[in-house]
């Protein structure tokens, strides 16, 4: 899942960026409205965390321009402007959530998870495919009830494939979802991650197929006794 963090308070920006990256998200961050608007025109994101009191371009103007382009990312407004009028204005312009500063970090993390679940079209907190289960609250995998220890990048890739199980996931979509602008994810690296995941999930009766020239498809394979 890819997130754009737009926050002009440098200390808060650094703290939230570190928190989100530690949670396994691909995050790009900017400090002003004009940079956010330019990035939203050029890139795709699953979630935008948007301050309102921004230099160069107000956050509400960023939101207005984004929704006018039919931008589909979920938007969480995160701001010190917490009056009822501000909340109504932000939600009416197309924000999906509104969190006033100061806030509890645990609530912030829960709202991020909730918005990303909604963005993926999921309501339940657990997604299961055969013997494999993904807890969307903790973003941890288990098999037959036992936790699986999977490195962060592989876990992010498997999460993407599970959430789109039965559908072909293009290589471009993998790069888009798992990397920020500062990251590089080559085709060779993707193939290595896919190979490792195949070995992990084969005993669970799942099949990870290559759709030549397009991407990858995760689905139930033969049943495991």
Give tens-digit pLDDT for 26-67. Answer: 899 999 999 999 999 998 899 999 999 999 999 999 999 999
| Secondary structure (DSSP) of 4-21 | EEE---HHHHHHHHHHHH
Written as six digits, the tokens of 152 are 């962060």
Please state the domain count of the chain.
2
Q: What's this model's pTM, rounded to 2 decimal places?
A: 0.75
Give tens-digit pLDDT for 53-110. Answer: 999 999 999 999 999 998 789 999 999 887 888 889 999 999 999 999 999 999 999 9
Range of the domain at 24: 2-119
Same domain, 74 and 178: no
pLDDT of residue 221: 60
**Is 225 part of a structural domain of the chain?**
no
Kindly report the CATH number assigned to the domain that includes residue 158: 1.10.10.10
* End-of-domain residue from the set 59, 93, 119: 119
Same domain, 157 and 61: no
Same domain, 105 and 211: no
Report the alpha-carbon distance of residue 15 to residue 5 in Å, rounded.
11
Average pLDDT over residues 9-35: 93
Written as six digits, the tokens of 130 are 């055969």
Same domain, 73 and 92: yes
Same domain, 196 and 215: yes
């Amino acid at each position: 899942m890819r997130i754009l963090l737009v926050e002009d308070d440098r200390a808060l920006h650094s703290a939230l960026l570190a928190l989100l990256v530690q949670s396994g998200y691909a995050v790009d961050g900017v400090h002003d409205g004009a940079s956010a608007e330019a990035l939203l025109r050029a890139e795709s994101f699953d979630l935008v965390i948007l301050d309102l009191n921004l230099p160069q371009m107000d956050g509400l103007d960023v939101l207005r321009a984004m929704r006018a382009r039919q931008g589909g990312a979920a938007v969480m407004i995160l701001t010190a402007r917490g009056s009822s009028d501000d909340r109504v204005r932000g939600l009416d312009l197309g924000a999906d959530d509104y969190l006033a500063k100061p806030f509890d970090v645990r609530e912030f993390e829960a709202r991020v998870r909730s918005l990303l679940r909604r963005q993926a079209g999921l309501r339940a907190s657990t997604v299961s495919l055969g013997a494999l289960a993904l807890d969307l609250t903790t973003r941890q995998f288990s098999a037959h009830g036992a936790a699986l220890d999977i490195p962060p990048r592989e876990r992010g890739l498997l999460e993407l494939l599970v959430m789109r199980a039965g559908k072909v996931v293009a290589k471009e979509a993998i790069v888009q979802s798992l990397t920020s602008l500062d990251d590089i994810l080559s085709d060779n690296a993707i193939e290595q991650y896919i190979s490792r995941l195949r070995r992990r999930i084969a005993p669970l009766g799942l099949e990870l197929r290559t759709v030549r020239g397009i991407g990858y498809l995760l689905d139930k394979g033969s049943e495991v006794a």
